[in-house]
């Protein structure tokens, strides 16, 4: 008797779906983290340093430019940003 191939799941199909779900989840978490950081950063710049609409919009624009540079591979890793901050501003960010 011939097995109906339409009824049987393909091997690896579940792994592919799991990987897709993991990627979607990771992207959702990353977007949430970016948004949280951006909102917090804008609030500090506004409340403590007097940034208004014009300068906050510039900050947001530049934030997305840097994020795009990182996401597109123009900047290899976050450690590249860390090196620039340390060398040019004497700032080391630790968690």
State what percent of residues in the chain have pLDDT above 70. 88
pTM for the model = 0.69
Query: Which range, of 12-16, 48-52, 81-85, 90-94, averages the lowest pLDDT?
Result: 12-16
Dihedral over Cα of 77, 65, 45, 42: its sign: negative
Closest listed residue to residue 41, CA positions, set 67, 14, 13: 67
Average pLDDT over residues 24-43: 92
Q: Give the Cα separation of 30 and 23 in Å (integer).
A: 10
């Amino acid at each position: 008797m011939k097995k109906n191939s339409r009824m049987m799941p393909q091997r690896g199909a579940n792994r592919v779906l799991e990987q897709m779900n993991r990627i979607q989840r990771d992207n959702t978490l990353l977007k949430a983290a970016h948004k949280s950081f951006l909102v917090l950063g804008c609030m500090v710049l506004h409340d403590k340093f007097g940034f208004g609409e014009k300068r906050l919009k510039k900050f947001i624009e530049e934030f997305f430019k840097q994020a795009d540079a990182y996401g597109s591979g123009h900047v290899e890793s976050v450690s590249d940003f860390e090196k620039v901050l340390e060398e040019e501003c004497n700032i080391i960010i630790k968690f």
